[in-house]
A = this chain, B = another copy of it.
Amino acid sequence: MSAPPEKIPQPTIERLSAYLQCVRLMRAQESATASSSEIARRTGINAAQLRKDLSYFGEFGTPGLGYDLRALEAHLSRIMGLDVERDVLLVGAGNLGRALSSYTGFGRRGFRIVAAFDVDEAKVGTAMGPVRVHHLRELAAVNAELGAEVGVVAVPASAAQVAVDALTAVGVRAILNFAPVTLAARPEITVRNVDLTSQMEILSYYLRST
C-alpha cells in the first residue's frame, strides 16, 4: 500500500514535483478534484504520462471523477519525502548565498537553512538572513549537533569541490550545487546542479538561428 518504489524513471521523479506544484495551486483555487487531463493541461505534461507516473506508486484516482486533490497532495508529499522537515547547510555567503538565505520558498516546503559557511574571514560572524555565517572549518563542529543531511553549494567554481567534500564528510547526503562545475561525489550522494550559465547557454541555442 505505501508503495515500495521499485525502479522509478528519473524523469518521473522530476515531474512529480511539477504535479505537486499544480495540485497545490488548484487546491488554493478551491478545487476539490481534478482529472488527469486537467492537470496535464495545466502542467503541459501528457495525461497518460501523469497517470503512468502516479501508477508507479499506487492507485490514487477514481474512474469517472479524477483525483481528490487533498489526497493527491498528501500522497505526492509523502512520495517525495516532504512529510519531514529538512535542515539545510548553506556554503557560500556571496550574492547568491545571501539571496538563497532570504528565500522563503525553501522554508515553506520544509527546508530550513540552519547554518551558513564561508572561507572569507570578513564574512564570518555576520548575519545572513536568519542565520549567522561560520567559517567553513567549523562545519564539522556545527553539524555534529545539527546533523543536517542537505547542503547547498553557492561558491565560485574553484571552491565547489572543497565545499562538497566538506559537506559529504559531515554526513550530508544530498547537495544542490550552484557552481558551474561537474562535481565528484560518491555514488550514494545525490547532487543536483543548478547552473545558471548553463541554462542561459541552452536558451541561447534556441535563439541562434536568427
CB proximity to B under 8 Å, residues A100-114: 100, 102-103, 105-106, 108-109, 111
Residue A6, interface by CB 8 Å:
no
Residue A165, interface by CB 8 Å:
no
Residue A182, interface by CB 8 Å:
yes
B residues near A173, Cβ cutoff 8 Å:
206-207
Partner of A182, one of B43, B190, B203, B205: B43
| Interface 0/1 of A141-157, CB less than 8 Å to B | 00000000110000000
For A, the interface residue count at a CB cutoff of 8 angstroms equals: 57
Partner of A105, one of B43, B150, B176, B180: B180
A125 to B108, CA, bound (A): 31
Would you give 15 A-B contacts (Cβ < 8 Å), ordered by A? A14-B198, A17-B195, A17-B198, A18-B182, A21-B182, A21-B195, A25-B181, A79-B205, A82-B201, A86-B207, A95-B98, A176-B199, A176-B203, A192-B203, A194-B199
The 9 closest A-B pairs by CB, nearest first: A81-B208, A99-B99, A190-B206, A174-B203, A17-B198, A95-B99, A81-B204, A17-B201, A105-B197
